[in-house]
Chain A
C-alpha cells in the first residue's frame, strides 16, 4: 500500500490515482479546495503546496510524486481549534489579503521561507515570493506580513 502524509494525516494512495494531477487529487478527491488553479502550467503559484517543507506547484505534479512525503496544504496551517498560524494572523493584520486567490500559496511559500530562514530581509522575502503572483496588493503588505510573522515566530521561539 502506498502512503503519503497530508496535513499530518496518513493517507493511502489508490493505485489508479497515481497518475492524476496532484492539484486535482487534492481538490476533487480530498476536497482540499484551498489549493487553487490559476494558470495550470506552474507559473502563477496559486496551487503551491509544501512537500517536505519545500514549496511545489501541485499543478505540475502527479499523485505518485507525493508517495512517502509530508504534504502541507493551506488547510493544514491553522491549529485544529481554528487558531490561525502566526503567518496567517500576520496576513490578516497587515491587510495582505484582497481577493484571496493567491493567499494560500503566499502563506505556504512564506512558511517554507521562514522554516529555512527565520529572519529574512525584505529583499529575501521578495525573492522567496517571486514565484507567487498577486494582482491585487502590489505585494507591499504581503512583505509587511512576512516581516511581522518572522518577528512573532522568532519571539515565540525565544520564549
Chain B
C-alpha cells in the first residue's frame, strides 16, 4: 500500500455496511426500554403511577429509583447524578422511570402512560443568580452552587496595572452546544450464564461505563464486562451520558433476567445528554505601548447545569490556558463551575479551551489595533517561545516550541499579507465584504494535572508470527486502532497485515482511563512502544543475543547482519518455551499543580497551532460564505497521515459550526432544539476547501514521538472566523455563535 492511501482496519466493514453498531445487534428474548422524563426543570416527585403503563399489552415492567439494587447516584468526580431520579427533579433531562416492553414501540407508548405527580419549583437557570448568597441549592449535599473553583495568582496585578499604557475590558459569552454525534446513544445488556453482566454500547469509555454499571447494580467490577463495538461518533459526548444509558439497560436486564436494549431517539439524546459548557468570560488586560502584555485579570463563569460530570476538569483547562498562548507576568484568574437547573455540561472536544480562545484570540487583536500593531506583530511580541515560562510557571524547554513556525506557515500558505489589504471593514460601497483572519493556540496535551494518566498495551505474538494487540484506548471512530497497529508495525519491524487489533473488553486489559483529551495516540501508542521493547527482550533471550533490531519481517544483530526471519524467531521462542508476549505500560511524565496559586507544570507537553480563514459577507443578507481554510498543527509525529488530515478537517468543520451555526437555547430549562432540523451542524455546502499542514517535531517525552490532535483542531477556528468577520464587517462579535447584524 502506498503512503498516500489511508489505512483503517475497520474501513471495509464500515464502507460495506456490515460493521455492527450497538443498535444493529439483537438477542433472542430481547426486551426494549424507554425513559420517562419530567415536564419541568425543578420539582419534588410526589408519585409515579405505573398502572396504566403496566396495563398496556407488551409492557413487562416499569422501574424507578427504588428498584435500583446498588447506588442510585454516580459520577466521575462528584457522585451527584441519579441513574433514575430519586425524590427530586433537578433538570428536564432527569429520567423518572424506565418502561420495559416486548417491542420498542410498546415501551415508548408505555412511557407516555406513566403518570407522574410533581410539586413544581421555580428553576434556577442563570449561573450568576446561582452564585448569589441565599440562592436555593441545586445539590444541597454539595453545600454550595459552586461546583468547583480554580484560580491563578501570578505576579502582582497592581504592579501590572501601573506599568500598563493601555487597559482593555471586554466581556465575551459562548453558548451551550451539542456534540451531535450521528449515532444516538444505545446499549444492549444481558446477564451471562456465568453471572457477568455483559454490556455493549455506544460509549467512549468502557471502564467508566463499567464503574457506572457496577455501582448501579451493586456488584463488583469483575462482574461486569463492557465490550467495544463500532460507535458512531463521540467528540467527548459519550462518556457519562452514554455510561448512564448502559447502566439503565443493565439495570433492566439485571431485574428481569432478559437481554434489554435501550436505544435513544435523537430527541431523548438532545434532551438528556450533556453539552459544551456555556461561558461568560470577563477580561481586563493591560499592555505597554510596545505591545507587551503587563497583566490579565479574568473571571469566568461556566454553567455546569444540574450535575458535576467533569466540570472541575473542563474549567481547570480554561484556567491553565486563560491567557491563550501568551506570556503574561501578572495574572489573576478566577474560574467558577456553577450548578443550575439547566441540562448538565460535560466533556466536549476542546474541553474548556474553545471558550477561552474565542475570547483571548479576539482580545489580543483588539489590543494590537489600539496600539497600532498588526495582528501578527501583537501576537509575535507576546507568544510563547522556546524556553518561555507559561502563566502557571511552567518552562517550555522539553520540546520544540513551534508556535511562530505554525503561524508563519499558515500565513504564508494563505498568502495573508497580500490578501489582508483587501479586507472590507464594512465598506458601504462594497457589494460583497471580504475578510481574512486567523487564530493561534497552544494546548496542553493529555489530562495534565487533572487526572491519573497512564495506559497499557498487550502484544501477543501467535506461533505463526501473526500478532494480536490491544491497548486501553478506545476506538471512537477516529482510527485509534489503526494508529496502534501502525505504531506496533513500526516498532516490531513487521508488516501491518500481520497485526490484528483484538476486540476490546474491560476484562482483557487494565483500565487505561478515558479516551479523551487527545491522549489516545500519545498514551496508547506510548504503551505499544513500551510493550514492543519488552517483546524485543524476549526475542533477545530466545536468540541468545544482547542487542537486535527488527525490520522487514526479520531480526538483525547489532552489526546489521540478518539473523533470521520474524517467523523463525517466533518459532524459536515457542520451542524454547519463551512466550513472545509483552505487557507494556506508559506512564505520562509527572506534572504538578497548586490549587491555591494555580502554579505548576500543568501538562507534560504542548501542541502549537494556527488556523486561518477567508470569507465573504453579503452586506444585504448578512450571509457568510467561507472561501478557504488552512490549518497547521505541531503533531509531534504523523502516524497515519490520511486519518490525521481527517482530524484536522473535522475539527475545523466543528469549529466553523461553533462560530456560525450552532446554538442550544434553553427555555425553562428545556433545550429548545429537539432534533437535527432545529440544531444545525455544518453541511458539505457550508464548508470551503480546507488545507491541513503537519508540523513535525517528535516529542522527546512520548515514546512514539506523537502528540495529540483531536482537540487542537477544534479550538481556534471560531476566533479565526470572528477575526475575519471583523475585518469583513468592521464589527467585533463577542458572543458566540456570531449573529451578523
Q: Given A33-B24, A95-B642, A133-B676, A77–B16 Cβ distance below 8 Å?
A: yes
* Contact sample, A vs B, 25 pairs, CB 8 Å cutoff: A34-B16, A34-B18, A38-B676, A39-B266, A73-B17, A74-B16, A82-B16, A88-B16, A92-B11, A98-B646, A99-B232, A100-B14, A100-B15, A101-B181, A101-B182, A101-B232, A103-B17, A126-B687, A130-B683, A133-B683, A134-B182, A135-B235, A138-B649, A138-B682, A141-B645
A88 surroundings in chain B (CB, below 8 A): 15-16
CB-contact partner of A33 in B17, B232, B676, under 8 A: B17
Q: Are A100 and B12 in contact (CB under 8 A)?
A: no
Q: Are B11 and A97 in contact (CB under 8 A)?
A: yes
A-binding residues in B (CB < 8 A) = 5-6, 8, 10-21, 23-24, 179-184, 230-235, 265-266, 476-479, 642-643, 645-646, 648-654, 675-677, 681-685, 687, 689-690
A38 surroundings in chain B (CB, below 8 A): 182-184, 232, 266, 676
Give chain B nearest CB distance to A121 CB in angstroms: 12
Q: Are A84 and B676 in contact (CB under 8 A)?
A: no
A39 surroundings in chain B (CB, below 8 A): 266, 675-677
A82 surroundings in chain B (CB, below 8 A): 16
A77 surroundings in chain B (CB, below 8 A): 16-17
Q: Are A78 and B16 in contact (CB under 8 A)?
A: yes
Residue of B18, B231, B651, B684 with highest tally of chain A CB at under 10 A: B684
Q: Are A141 and B681 in contact (CB under 8 A)?
A: no
- Of the candidate stretches A40-48, A50-58, A60-68, the one touching chain B is A40-48
B685 surroundings in chain A (CB, below 8 A): 126-127, 130
If over half of A's interface residues share one DSSP class (helix, strand or loop), that class is named, otherwise mixed; here it is loop
Q: How many residues of A contact B (CB 8 A)?
A: 56
Give chain B nearest CB distance to A20 CB in angstroms: 10
Q: Are A136 and B477 in contact (CB under 8 A)?
A: yes
A100 surroundings in chain B (CB, below 8 A): 10, 13-15, 19, 230, 232, 477
Q: Are A122 and B477 in contact (CB under 8 A)?
A: no
Name A108's closest neighbour in chain B (CB-CB): B17
A78 and B675 CA atoms in complex are apart in Å by 32
B182 surroundings in chain A (CB, below 8 A): 36, 38, 44, 46, 99, 101-102, 133-135
CB-contact partner of B676 in A43, A99, A122, A127, under 8 A: A43
B231 surroundings in chain A (CB, below 8 A): 99
Q: Are B646 and A36 in contact (CB under 8 A)?
A: no
A37 and B184 CA atoms in complex are apart in Å by 8
A129 interface residue per 8 A CB criterion: yes
A24 and B18 CA atoms in complex are apart in Å by 17
Q: Are B266 and A40 in contact (CB under 8 A)?
A: yes
Q: Are A93 and B19 in contact (CB under 8 A)?
A: no
Q: Are B16 and A36 in contact (CB under 8 A)?
A: no
Q: Are B14 and A97 in contact (CB under 8 A)?
A: yes
A107 interface residue per 8 A CB criterion: yes
A137 surroundings in chain B (CB, below 8 A): 646, 649-650, 653
A139 interface residue per 8 A CB criterion: yes
Report the 8 A-B pairs with minimum CB-CB distance, sorted nearest first: A34-B17, A99-B477, A100-B14, A101-B232, A95-B642, A138-B649, A138-B653, A74-B17
Residue of A37, A122, A131 with highest tally of chain B CB at under 10 A: A37
CB-contact partner of A101 in B233, B645, B651, under 8 A: B233
A74 and B21 CA atoms in complex are apart in Å by 15
Q: Are A103 and B181 in contact (CB under 8 A)?
A: no
Give chain B nearest CB distance to A9 CB in angstroms: 16
Other A-B pairs, 16, CB within 8 Å; known A99-B233, A100-B230: A33-B20, A33-B23, A34-B16, A34-B17, A36-B182, A38-B183, A41-B266, A91-B11, A95-B645, A98-B233, A99-B183, A122-B689, A131-B683, A136-B478, A138-B654, A141-B649
Indicate with 1 or 0, residue by residue over A68-100, a CB within 8 angstroms of chain B CB atoms: 000001110110001010001001111111111
B230 surroundings in chain A (CB, below 8 A): 99-100
Q: Are A36 and B21 in contact (CB under 8 A)?
A: yes
B-binding residues in A (CB < 8 A) = 27, 32-41, 43-44, 46, 73-75, 77-78, 82, 84, 88, 91-104, 107, 122, 125-127, 129-143
A122 surroundings in chain B (CB, below 8 A): 689
Q: Are A92 and B15 in contact (CB under 8 A)?
A: yes
A74 and B12 CA atoms in complex are apart in Å by 12
Q: Given A73-B17, A135-B181, A138-B649, A98–B479 Cβ distance below 8 Å?
A: yes
A127 and B677 CA atoms in complex are apart in Å by 18
A143 and B17 CA atoms in complex are apart in Å by 20
Give chain A nearest CB distance to B711 CB in angstroms: 14
A78 and B21 CA atoms in complex are apart in Å by 20
A41 surroundings in chain B (CB, below 8 A): 266, 675-677
B179 surroundings in chain A (CB, below 8 A): 135
A43 and B705 CA atoms in complex are apart in Å by 42
A73 and B234 CA atoms in complex are apart in Å by 25
Q: Are B649 and A97 in contact (CB under 8 A)?
A: no
Give chain B nearest CB distance to A90 CB in angstroms: 9
Name B8's closest neighbour in chain A (CB-CB): A97
Q: Given A33-B24, A40-B265, A43-B677, A94–B6 Cβ distance below 8 Å?
A: yes
B476 surroundings in chain A (CB, below 8 A): 99
A99 and B237 CA atoms in complex are apart in Å by 14
A15 and B8 CA atoms in complex are apart in Å by 43
Q: Are B16 and A136 in contact (CB under 8 A)?
A: no
A140 and B684 CA atoms in complex are apart in Å by 8
A21 and B740 CA atoms in complex are apart in Å by 41
Name A87's closest neighbour in chain B (CB-CB): B15
Q: Are A97 and B15 in contact (CB under 8 A)?
A: yes
A101 and B10 CA atoms in complex are apart in Å by 12
B232 surroundings in chain A (CB, below 8 A): 36, 38, 99-101
A92 surroundings in chain B (CB, below 8 A): 6, 8, 11-12, 15
Residue of A88, A101, A104 with highest tally of chain B CB at under 10 A: A101
Residue of B15, B23, B650 with highest tally of chain A CB at under 10 A: B15
Residue of A41, A97, A136 with highest tally of chain B CB at under 10 A: A136
Q: Are B21 and A101 in contact (CB under 8 A)?
A: yes
Give chain B nearest CB distance to A29 CB in angstroms: 12
CB-contact partner of B23 in A37, A73, A84, under 8 A: A37
